[in-house]
Structure 1
Amino acid sequence: MAGKAAEPQVIWARPERTGRGPRPAFTRADIAAAAVRIADAGGLEAVSMRHVAAELGCGTMSLYNYVPRKEDLYELMIDAVGAEHEIREPSGDWRADMIRNAEETRAIMHRHTWVPRLMSGVYGFSPNTLRYLEHCLACLDPLDVPYGVKTELVALLNGVVTTYTANEIATAERTRSMPWSEEEENAVRIAYLGSQVATGAYPRLAAAFMEDSGPIDLEAVFRRALERVLDAFDPDRG
């Protein structure tokens, strides 16, 4: 007879440590900090129960008394970096506050480049995540729309930030792995693209390139993306 399947659980609903014995040697904060250090240094692939246990100086099996599953470890990590959000008193300008929150999220992701890979609603119930969501909703108090719409705005804005930042991180990692400079790589690709457009097979692309006014300002592109998301929810601009 097959054993009973594991039941879904939320680590925040569990005691800090299961089992009997002496007072716990570590806190969840200790475990999360160790896992974050490992991920920051070697990427998400470097995070394992064995590596975290070694970082803490304990046995791998004893770590399972604190963190039953690797998914729980990931949730602790997301909660730990979520504490880096600075929760300020809302200014009363909901657009400015949400742009500041988005830019801060982007900065956190650049400090911890593994974070975009773990951005999921699955890890959306930790204390610091809930604290940040409550803060965002407080920033949106001046916006006269239902809370369901406000939470949709927060989710969409976070999705844009995550996608944009993940692409920035991937580009930077790829550039570091190349045996030539980013400028050399771009020059070769632009030359090839120009040769293809010059064939006349892509008239719309040709028109777009004719309008090109120079290097792309990626910071301005990011800010416009945020503004356009906010425009969709702003009754004054709808």
Structure 2
Amino acid sequence: MAGRPAEPEVIWARPERAGRGPKPAYSRADIAAAAVRIADADGLDAVSMRRVAAEIGCGTMSLYNYVPRKEDLYELMVDLVSGEYDLSRGPSGDWRADMMDLARQARGIMRRHPWVVRVMSTVYAIGPNALRCLDHCLACLEGLDVPPGTKMELFGMINGSVMVYVANELALAERARSVPWSAEREEAVRGAYMMGQVMAGDYPHLAALFAEGVAPADDAEAGFERLLGRVLDGFAPRG
């Protein structure tokens, strides 16, 4: 395929423009923004080199001169939305509060760009915005007395927990859009079925749990805060 390198290559190490010659007609930011617009509107599967090229007004083969692989395009997209973190306030001195703030921001980014949960991983964590966010995170964690590797694990666990939580939120929202009745009606029907199955006698531990009373479901915001609080407690419990 045209433009594909013969050896592994990092898109960020590839010069955006040659030292000589005319200025490129398009920037990586232009290309990433076009791809993000497509993904936001029609989903990640709609992002193709042909579609992105049409969006910015160039030929498909010309686009490969800027972005050799589709994987590179995903990397540009992830880094572009990673620039939506507000890191301007700097560390507050309260590492737990700072981590919760980053987690809330991550949730907001993933909900604005639902496709992110499919492609965000350590593979795409070496762009300038992603590295800036990671460096900010480590600055916030300076007051946490754990080894550096543990701090990296904490960052990864927070990011992973947010991704799973948002993926479930998105799945529930998509299901609600696909049925002709209310989410409350769907939940009631499914809850009644589950209760009937549990109380039939085949699931004694679940039956015991239900008999003792399961805590009522609260809103998604409270559940999110509780989840992240427990993750953070695993690294340094609150006194």
Q: TM-score, normalised by structure 2?
A: 0.92
Q: How does 1:28-39 map to 2 (within 5 A)?
A: 28-39=28-39
Partner of 2:68: 68
Structure 1 residue 67 displacement after superposition? 0.5
Change (3 A) 1:230 1:214: closer
- Code of the residue aligned with 2:131 in structure 1: it is L
How many residues matched? Answer: 234
In 2 relative to 1, CA 179–18 (structure 1 residues): closer, same or farther, beyond 3 Å? farther
Structure 1 match to 2:25: 25
Q: Secondary structure at the match of 1:215?
A: coil
Q: Secondary structure at the match of 2:72?
A: helix
**SS, match of residue 118 in structure 2:** helix
Instruction: State the alpha-carbon separation in 2 of the partners of residues 184 and 139 from structure 1.
Output: 44
Counterpart CA distance in 1 for 2:30 and 2:11 is 15
Distance 1:219 1:19 in 2: 50
Q: Report the Cα distance in structure 2 between the residues aligned to 1:187 and 1:98, rounded to whole angstroms.
A: 35
Aligned-partner Cα distance in 1 for 2:20–2:92: 49
State the shift of 1:213 in Å: 4.1
**Cα 1:171–1:236, aligned 2, differ >3 Å: closer, same or farther?**
closer
The change in CA–CA distance for 1:73 and 1:19 in structure 2 (over 3 A counts) is farther
Counterpart position of 1:216: 218
Once the two structures are TM-superposed, the CA of residue 207 in structure 1 deviates from its matched residue by 2.7
- Cα distance in 2 for residues equivalent to 1:116 and 1:52: 20
Alpha-carbon offset, residue 215 of structure 1:
3.1
Residues 130-145 of structure 1: pairs in structure 2 closer than 5 A: 130-145=131-146
Aligned-pair identity in percent equals: 65
Structure 1 residues 191 and 59, CA gap change in structure 2 (3 angstroms): same
Output the aligned Cα RMSD. 2.0
Structure 1 partner of 2:125: 124
Q: Give the letter aligned to residue 184 of structure 1.
A: R
Q: Residues 15-164 of structure 1: matches in 2 within 5 Å?
A: 15-17=15-17, 22-87=22-87, 88-164=89-165
Between the aligned partners of 1:193 and 1:199, the Cα distance in structure 2 is 10
CA distance in 1, matches of 2:71, 2:19: 20
Q: 2:228 aligns with which of 226, 229, 235?
A: 226
Given the superposition, is the C-alpha separation of residues 213 and 232 from structure 1 closer, same or farther in structure 2, using an over 3 Å criterion? Answer: closer
Residues 95-124 of structure 1, C-alpha deviations (whole Å, 9 max, x = no match): 010011001100100000000101111101
Code of the residue aligned with 1:119 in structure 2: it is M
Q: Which runs of 4+ in 1 moved over 6 A?
A: none
**What letter matches 1:181 in structure 2?**
S
Please identify, of 20-29 and 56-65, the stretch whose mean Cα deviation from structure 2 is larger: 20-29
Unaligned 5+ runs, structure 1? none
Change (3 A) 1:215 1:148: closer
Normalising by structure 1, we get a TM-score of 0.92
User: Gapped runs of 5+ residues in structure 2?
Assistant: none
Do the aligned partners of 1:18 and 1:65 also contact (CA within 8 Å) in 2? Answer: no
CA distance in 2, matches of 1:207, 1:6: 61
CA distance in 1, matches of 2:20, 2:178: 48
Distance 1:230 1:84 in 2: 23
Q: Aligned AA for 1:203? A: P
Preserved contact between residue 17 and residue 23 of structure 2 (Cα < 8 Å): no
- The residue that corresponds to 2:14 in the other structure is 14
Q: Secondary structure at the match of 1:233?
A: coil
Distance in 2, Cα, partners of 1:127 & 1:141: 21
CA distance in 1, matches of 2:116, 2:6: 27
